[in-house]
Structure 1
Amino acid sequence: MLKSEIQNLPSSAELPCSDDTPVDNEEQNFIPNFLLFLLEYLWGNRQDWFFGVDMAVYHTTGDNPRIPIIPDGFLALNVERRKGEGGRSSYVLWEENNIVPILALEVVSQTPGGEYSSKEALYAKLGVLYYVIYNPRQFRGDRHRGLEVYKLVKGKYRWQVQEPVWMPEIGLGIGRGLRNYGGVEREVLYWFDEEGNRYISTEEAEQQARSQLSEMRQELDIVRQQVEQERQQREFAQQQVEQERQQREFAQQQVEQERQLREQLQRELERYRQQLGDLGEP
């Protein structure tokens, strides 16, 4: 795009941030926000990404740059994580070095939204590499799966069959999983590693940390009990050694008393003999 053309385009401050269309099911709001929260945990130290939720994406591939496409969620890489003091109100390609989101997410609603037709064509034209359609309630009947991930190959989207789908350009996989929170179990989308292992959420990490801490405390209590038992055993052994020492001393004292008594008896006997000998002389 020429510099003169960019100068004629509206700024993000002049453009609406969304179309204010209300969602008609809970998943449309929860799923993309949940993925965002997971990324905040996984990529907390990175500053080169942005995940938008229900945010207008303005582009120049259509007839009017003031008409955006509004994914339920999208991920852009190699952009500022937070733009300006107040952050982004919309994602305007000509203010983002024309960096197209690498992933777009649509959560199918009861009201037809063109997820499998017009939006798919527009995302392909825009150059979005991965297009994710999540349809947990099967609003379109049996024609589509609950989760479909498409990759743009030579201008056309190709369905990625295996789940979770590994996306090497992003360094993440995406797939479904069950989340239990407050005793309520529900299906959600998760990020995965290359081996297909699900990344845990912050509350799961905290729960694991609490469990590990509890296990460490239990192990520490066991060690303390063992140390105390060993101390008591040492004290008992020392007491036995002391008792044996005292017994040996007592035995030695008895032996000494007996020796002294024998010596005394011998002296008395010798004295009596001398007295008897004196009496027997004429």
Structure 2
Amino acid sequence: MVRFNSKIDLPSSDELPDCDGLPVDNELQTLVPNFLGLIIAFIWSNRYNWFWGVNMGVYHTTGLNPRVPIVPDAFLSLGVERTKRNQLRKSYVVWEENEVVPSFVLEVVSQTPDGEYHEKINAYAQMGVLYYVIYNPDFWRTDQHQPFEVYRLVNGVYQSQIGEPFWMPEIGLGIGRSVGEHLGLQREWLYWYDQKGNRFSTPEELLNRYRERFGELAENEEVS
């Protein structure tokens, strides 16, 4: 007997676009995800079993058409290769990742509604994404939501969580807001936190501390 294998009819990553081709209308939609990606790449520099994607198409089989991706502003998958055969991914194709769906998805709400509170939240729940974070610092009053919302998937349904920073034990990271500086911009950003609620330093902050320390040592040597 020949068993039917639905994967035979699924396209490969080489046949699929890497995103939906839609431009962002808010600079934060790229700045915030890339900032988080910069930090996680630093704190997990010795790990190779994770992947952080930004504005990348995620192809899955839980929607109407596996050739139509959902494109989060950012997502984190655990238990996958950091690179695919030493090559960078063009898209994230679930059936080429041993069926590993992202554990974490971030959406940064822009001026143009993109279904973060309706279509996307349902799609991510159907996919099985464990944590869904919506960051809405500018339009939350208009949208009648909170500026920072965390949802956890429980029995196939997202439940709103409380607490900030919010610890995600399955991921081993917490997430929350804080005021800091990045790319010369002093404002509120999203950051990663440890289990005790301590914010992880950014590479920029560590570099500045090194420069300050190096400057102090140089001054001391001149005095002596």
More strand by share: 2
Bigger mean CA offset, 191-200 vs 78-87 = 78-87
What pairs up with 1:19-168 in 2 under 5 angstroms? 19-138=20-139, 141=142, 143-168=144-169
Q: Once the 2 structures are TM-superposed, how far is the Cα of residue 177 of structure 1 from its aligned partner?
A: 1.3
Name the aligned partner's letter for residue 94 of structure 2: L
Residue aligning to 1:12: 13
Q: Once the 2 structures are TM-superposed, how far is the Cα of residue 156 of structure 1 from its aligned partner?
A: 1.2
Residue aligning to 2:196: 195
Distance 1:31 1:76 in 2: 18
- Asked which structure has the greater CA Rg, the reply is 1
Per-residue displacement from partner, 1:96-147 (whole Å, max 9, x unpaired)? 0000100001111111111011110110111000001000102551611111
Normalised by the size of structure 1, how large is the TM-score? 0.74
Contact between 2:77 and 2:102, CA under 8 Å: does it hold in 1?
yes
Normalised by the size of structure 2, how large is the TM-score? 0.93
Q: Once the 2 structures are TM-superposed, how far is the Cα of residue 60 of structure 1 from its aligned partner?
A: 0.5
Greater RCO (CA < 8 Å, at least 6 residues apart): 2
Name the aligned partner's letter for residue 175 of structure 2: I
Gaps of 5+ in 1: 225-282
More helix by share: 1
Distance 2:209 2:121 in 1: 39
Q: Once the 2 structures are TM-superposed, how far is the Cα of residue 220 of structure 1 from its aligned partner?
A: 5.6
Q: Once the 2 structures are TM-superposed, how far is the Cα of residue 4 of structure 1 from its aligned partner?
A: 1.8
Distance 1:199 1:57 in 2: 28
Q: Once the 2 structures are TM-superposed, how far is the Cα of residue 3 of structure 1 from its aligned partner?
A: 7.2
1:151/1:4 Cα in 2 relative to 1: closer, same or farther (>3 Å)? same
Across the aligned residues of Structure 1 and Structure 2, the Cα RMSD in angstroms comes to 1.8
